[in-house]
Chain A
Amino acid sequence: MSQNVEEQVLDFVRGRFPQERFDADQDIFQLGFVNSLFALELVMFIEKTFAITIRGEELQIDNFRTATAMAALVARHQQAPAASGA
């Protein structure tokens, strides 16, 4: 499941920046061209694709730096879904 999540996240990022190469442990925020708008898109993509609502305390850039981190975030929410969505 986690591998699948990583691949879907990487596909999303590669789709947005087709000229760049990414791997699962690459910090996409250190590449210099990822802005806050794209960070927001990542949140929306993950919530919609994996049918989760990310808890407020988990909405931190560190959880979105790499595909591995995002897969772990998704796994945590799928194990313990948010109660209120807030």
Chain B
Amino acid sequence: MGVGVAQNLAQTGHDVVLVDLSEQILADALATIRQNCRMSRFMGGPALDADEVLSRISTGVGADALAKADIVIENVPEDWETKRAVYLELDKACAPETVFVVNTSAIPITKVAAVTGRPAQIIGVHFMNPVPSKPAVELIPGFHTSAETIERTRALLTAMGKKAIDVKDACGFISNRVSHVFMNEAAALVYEGVGTAEAVDEVFRSCFGHPMGPLETADLIGVDTVLHSLDVIHEHYQDPKYRPCPLLRQMTDAGLHGRKSGRGFYDYTNSNRATVA
């Protein structure tokens, strides 16, 4: 998702330093941004000059590349130990006044703030995919987040073309608390044989008017990612209503992770999309 955030920032006139684990990952990220710019107008977005967008993005490996950043938007995986290690590193590398934006769909912002020496400058923003074309985000202040940090972040989001929806700091926020229960129950319906994946998705598309069904959405997000987010929410609240459906765990173990692996609830290989689960 960092690729989408970087593109969104650059196409709205911001200078960006894109940081990742290796030069190869960064080269792939820039190639993806170039391709996304090429497709932008076709997908209903603005016409973008890829060279102009990319001219605003520099790259670096390691947190030191962010030493001069005003605001850091972190996009590492939703794994607490990974996030924790990154924030310890960022806290050392960045200037004391730098704001850290936690891009998360589940991890409490106050928990992240506690591992830094700047809890007033830690704030959560839950971006949605694909970032450049989604008009809104969840904005989540932590317990110690200052009014100045909230306003600086809100101003940046406005400049990125995003409406910020205020949400309190609670694991899963609003979006995942609801959407993941949808996807989990949809998987349970397939698991119990109540309906096929296509039937479940068809109900959401045709009866509710959703552009995509919950299982198509799970395939797009990644079945493994959905399972992981459910595990995080379940672990946090200890409420059985978030207990992941066994089918999600079995599919994850089997490598049926959705579009990115070629198979999930649907088969994306050989140009087909037959129902798998």
A40 x B211 contact (CB < 8 A): no
| A-side contacts of B185, CB under 8 Å | none
| B-side contacts of A39, CB under 8 Å | 42-43
| A12, A36, A60: residue with the most chain B Cβ atoms closer than 10 Å | A36
A35 x B38 contact (CB < 8 A): no
Q: A61 in the interface, Cβ–Cβ < 8 Å?
A: yes
Q: A45 in the interface, Cβ–Cβ < 8 Å?
A: yes
Task: Write the A6-30 contact mask toward B (1 if CB under 8 angstroms, else 0).
Answer: 0000011001111100000000000
Say which residue of A11, A37, A59 sits within 8 Å of B42 (CB atoms).
A59
* A22, B42: Cα distance in complex, Å: 23
* A40, B133: Cα distance in complex, Å: 14
Say which residue of B42, B198, B270, B274 sits within 8 Å of A43 (CB atoms).
B42
Please report the total number of A residues contacting B with Cβ < 8 Å. Answer: 21
A11 x B41 contact (CB < 8 A): no
Q: B212 in the interface, Cβ–Cβ < 8 Å?
A: yes
Q: A80 in the interface, Cβ–Cβ < 8 Å?
A: no
A35 x B42 contact (CB < 8 A): no
| A-side contacts of B38, CB under 8 Å | 56, 59, 86
Residues of A26-63 contacting chain B, CB below 8 A:
33, 35-37, 39-40, 43, 45, 49, 56, 59-61
Known contacts A35-B211, A35-B212, A36-B44: A11-B39 contact under CB 8 Å: no
B42 x A12 contact (CB < 8 A): no
Give chain B's interface residue range (CB within 8 Å of chain A): 10 to 19
* A66, B132: Cα distance in complex, Å: 28
CB distance from A52 to the nearest CB of B (A): 14
A33 x B205 contact (CB < 8 A): yes
B271 x A12 contact (CB < 8 A): yes
| B38, B42, B43: residue with the most chain A Cβ atoms closer than 10 Å | B42
Task: Write the B121-137 contact mask toward A (1 if CB under 8 angstroms, else 0).
Answer: 00000000000000000
Q: B26 in the interface, Cβ–Cβ < 8 Å?
A: no
| B-side contacts of A18, CB under 8 Å | 273-274
A19 x B42 contact (CB < 8 A): no
Q: B50 in the interface, Cβ–Cβ < 8 Å?
A: yes
Q: B247 in the interface, Cβ–Cβ < 8 Å?
A: no
| B-side contacts of A12, CB under 8 Å | 271
* A36, B107: Cα distance in complex, Å: 30
The residue on B at minimum CB distance from A61 is B42
* A63, B204: Cα distance in complex, Å: 29
The residue on A at minimum CB distance from B198 is A19
Interface residues of A (CB under 8 A from B): 11-12, 15-19, 33, 35-37, 39-40, 43, 45, 49, 56, 59-61, 86
Interface residues of B (CB under 8 A from A): 38-39, 41-44, 50, 198, 205, 211-212, 220, 270-274
Ranked nearest first, the 5 interchain pairs of A and B with the lowest CB-CB distance are: A15-B272, A59-B42, A12-B271, A16-B273, A36-B43
